[in-house]
Structure formats: C-alpha cells, structure tokens
Amino acid sequence: SAAEKGGYDHFMLKEIHEQPKAISDTLTGRISEDGTKVVFDEVQWPAGFASEIDRIHILACGTSWHAGMVGKHAIEKLTRIPVDCEIASEYRYRDPIVSKNTLMVVITQSGETADTLAALRQAKEQGTRILAITNVVGSSAAREADDVIFTWAGPEISVASTKAYTTQLTALYLFAGWLAQERGSVGAAEVPALLTDLRDMPAKAETVLETSPAIETFAKQWSSREHAFFIGRGLDYAVSMEGSLKLKEISYMHAEAYAAGELKHGTLALIVEDIPVIALVTQDDLYEKTVSNIQEVKARDAFVLALAWSGDTEIGKTADQVIHIPRVNPFLAPIIAVIPLQLLAYYASVARGNDVDNPRNLAKSVTVE
C-alpha cells in the first residue's frame, strides 16, 4: 500500500532514500567513544585467530558479491591479507584451497540464498571459521555462521537491492579497520581518520540524493536505448558492476560493466555513435587513465555521462554530461557513488513502464540452487 511505501511510488525509491539512516544505523555502537577504534563485540574469535588468518574468502551472489569486491579492496589495503571474492555458485564446485587459518566471509542480505548457504556449509565441514554479514536476524546464515555482523538496514522489500548494498559496504569498511587494529597491521594507523570519514557518510549520502532530478531527466532521455556501458577503474569498476546489474535487473536494458582499461581488448568494437557510457571518475590516482579511456569512447562518438567529484571542472571538457557528487575520501567513494546509479536504474525502469519492485523472472531471495 501507499502507506507502507512512506509516500514514495515504489519500495525501491523509499529504500534508496533510507540509505543515510541505514548507513548511520550500521555505524551505531561500532565506533569507540573517542572515535578512534572499531568495536565489534559480536565477533568472538579464539585468542590469536586475528593474527593467524592468512587468507580470506568472501562468498556471495549478485549485489552482495559486488559489495564483496569492494570489501576485498578494503581488507587488502588495511590488513595486507590476501582476499579472494567469489560468486558462491562457482566457489562451491571448484574444490577451493582452505586451511585452519582461512577466514570465510559470507555476505547475504536475506541470509537465505541457497548457493551462499551451500558454500557456507561446505566450508563449515572443512573446519573454516565463518563470519556472516547479513541483514536478517534469525536467518539461516545468521544461525549457521560462527560470527555475525548485522547490517541493520531494516527490511528491504524491493527485489533490487539498494540499502542492503551500502550498509554491507559500511560493515565491510568497519570490519577491515577492525581487523587491521586487531592484528596491529600497518594500515591500523589510517583507521581513526577513516572512522571520521565514515561518520560523515550519512550526510554525504543525503547530499547525493539531490542528484535525483538530473538523473531522472537523463534516464528519461536515454531509457529507450537497448544498450549501455559502465566503465571505471579500481573501486569505480566494482561500483560499475553494481550499476550495470541494477540497470539490467529492473529496466531490462542490456548493460555491461567494463574495467576502463580493458575496453580496448574487445569491447570498443561495440562502442558506436550515441551509445550511452556511464563513466565513474572518483579514484584520484587513476584519474588521468580513466579520462584517456573516456576519450577513447568519445572518439567513437559515444555519449558519456561522467560521475565525478564536485569541484572537478576538468571532466566536463571530455564528458558530455557530468553528475557531481560531494567529495569524500576516494577509498570510501563506493558508498555514495552507487546512489546515482541506483537512481538511474530506478528512473529508467519507471520510464519503461516496468514493475520496478518486482522485475520479471526474479525473486527477492533465491532459495533454489
């Protein structure tokens, strides 16, 4: 009913707008009073385990897997532990290499995804310690994992996942910081500043929501197309994958996410006049490289919508249109960079007259293998 949707036309739009509060709820109680330490009382590892971990396997499906890709970056950067992030339905069938010093992290909004649970159960048989990052208290993943970090996003009704993703990211950044502090990793020195930045994210997310009208206009203009591309490097590539999935899932447009540097290895053949290319440019150390990839697609007459920091006056010289988002630490960019992409998928789906909250062929929680 309309009341359940809090005045929004769809649950998805309501959930997109709930993100500032959801991110804030994920942070609540997990930062020490002096603001310098991550607190995870819910993670009760055997003494010494934090220092003994020598590899981490992140398993998930869909949007949760995309969150895991960002988690891999974050954990490796802060702890220097090698992290593999894999689709659960692949991992479980390939005889993965694990030891007693492997930590498995499963990410699942619902806690009921069949393939993710199967990977969890397989790891359990092998004696691997399992941490679940989930949104649903009492879910199978929450009950069966050794330790659980709840995302506290509140119920997510729309099939397209939005606030679950941004809260998973928040939980993963916290976890990466916590693990660095527990192990005394070199990266631990960066954690206090990171926590200051994280506490700022709800306000930044609120500001990003103000891009809605511009995104809606763009979506209306381009929603009759059949193809779109998302490009980026590093963390921008991880977010591109999520933007592309979201657009496919609810607008039914064909979209592909490409690591910007990989375009010339095949995909450029598909870039022709007026193909929409959404380019993410939030990673300062990769800025010039990404701009040169934008030039490559512009040379084929693509239409480029760039997602860049406020204050970036350069990017408009290369891109056709720019959506500016408030500057944050680029390491945390995924939390806010995804929001315009969620809105793009939403407004494209509405423009195409689709059933936004219940896209064809899909279920909210995939409980079959």
Nearest to 48 by CA among 84, 99, 101, 98: 101
Taking the complex as a whole, the smallest distance from the CB of residue 365 to ligand AGP amounts, in Å, to 5
Taking the complex as a whole, the smallest distance from the CB of residue 253 to ligand AGP amounts, in Å, to 15
Residue nearest to ligand AGP (CB): 62
Q: Active-site residue among 21, 37, 298, 364? A: 364
Residues of this chain that interact with ligand AGP (CB under 6 A) are 61-64, 108-110, 113, 116, 159-161, 249, 365-366
Bridge-partner residues for 259, per DSSP?
Answer: 232
Q: Is 204 helix (H, G, I), strand (E, B) or coil?
A: helix
Q: Select 250 or 271, whichever has its Cβ closest to ligand AGP.
A: 250
Taking the complex as a whole, the smallest distance from the CB of residue 156 to ligand AGP amounts, in Å, to 9
Q: Which residues contact 116 (CB under 8 A, 6 or more apart)?
A: 59, 60, 61, 64, 88, 106, 107, 108, 141
* Known catalytic membership, residue 364: yes
Q: Select 63 or 79, whichever has its Cβ closest to ligand AGP.
A: 63
Distance CA(269)–CA(179), nearest Å, equals 43
Taking the complex as a whole, the smallest distance from the CB of residue 246 to ligand AGP amounts, in Å, to 6
Instruction: Please state, in angstroms and as integers, the Cα–Cα distance from residue 326 to each residue in 70, 336, 350, following that order.
Output: 20, 9, 26
Q: Select 46 or 155, whichever has its Cβ closest to ligand AGP.
A: 155
Taking the complex as a whole, the smallest distance from the CB of residue 131 to ligand AGP amounts, in Å, to 15
Own/partner long-range contacts of 208-212 (Cβ < 8 Å, ≥24 apart): 208/325, 208/326, 208/336, 208/339, 208/340, 209/16, 209/17, 209/19, 209/20, 209/339, 209/343, 211/323, 211/324, 211/325, 211/339, 211/340, 211/343, 212/343
Q: Select 135 or 318, whichever has its Cβ closest to ligand AGP.
A: 135
Q: Select 244 or 293, whichever has its Cβ closest to ligand AGP.
A: 244
Q: Report, as residue numbers or ranges, the catalytic residues.
A: 364
